[in-house]
Amino acid sequence: MKIETILFDLDGTLIDTNELIIASFTHTLEKFGDRPYTREEILNFIGPPLVDSLGLVNPNKIDEMVEAYREHNYANHDKYVKAYPEVVETMKVLKEKGYKLAIVTTKIHHTAELGLKIAGMEGIFDVIIGLDDVENAKPHPEPVLSAIDQLKANPMTTLMVGDNYHDIEAGQNAGVQTAGVAWAIKGRESLEKYRPDYMLEKITDLFTIIGDE
């Protein structure tokens, strides 16, 4: 069946926030961590909700750590955030062609909106599902199913695109098709073992997948 709906993770998929995320984790860990953390260790924190990642560091100060992270992250968005190559143009074409588009992210809703605005994609997506919009974060299917419900979409004609295994598993758990992105900061191998239906070398590969070149 032809793809009619495309759901996107945000950070690391459409917008390059990797260095911002790493800087925000570094800032937080310097304040609350029990030791210095390497870049490689910090990369493993990327993807899950903040409370899960930071809870591994200091379970007694999760709220303070999340607040410190979000303050740094929000304050530095303008300095770091940019869209990946060809992403803005591709999203505009998809919208013009009538595809239903949504963001499904573990970011809180208003921070996701900020990232989209800075990257030049404000108003493109019909629905944004943030961490604060659901009870269960990816890889639970709820965020994907919530987007599908709000879009009045058909899971059989829906594709979930992301850079983290949580995105692939959330899509699979919700019964939709999935696509990983080869520019994931942890490398394409980190996604391939979860067997997404597709792997994008570049964002414009979407047109081949949906048969709309």
9, 11, 133, 163: the catalytic one is: 9
Range of the domain at 51: 18-79
Amino acid at 82: K
Q: How many domains does the chain have?
A: 2
What pLDDT band is residue 31 in, cutting at 50, 70 and 90?
Answer: very high
- Stretch 193-207: mean pLDDT, rounded? 97
28 & 98 share domain: no
DSSP three-state, residue 154:
coil
Same domain, residue pair 88 and 101: yes
Average pLDDT over residues 141-145: 98
Statement to judge: residues 117 and 28 lie in one domain: no
| Whether residue 70 is found in the same domain as residue 11 | no
The verdict on whether 34 is a catalytic residue reads no
For range 61-76, the mean pLDDT: 95
Query: How big, in percent rounded to 5, are the helix, strand and coil portions of the chain?
Result: 50, 15, 40
Are 73 and 89 members of one domain?
no
Looking at the structure, tell me whether residues 104 and 149 fall in a common domain: yes
For 140-146, what is the mean pLDDT? 98
Please tell me the distance from the alpha carbon of residue 140 to that of residue 98, in angstroms, as a whole number: 28
Q: Identify the CATH number of the domain in which residue 131 sits.
A: 3.40.50.1000
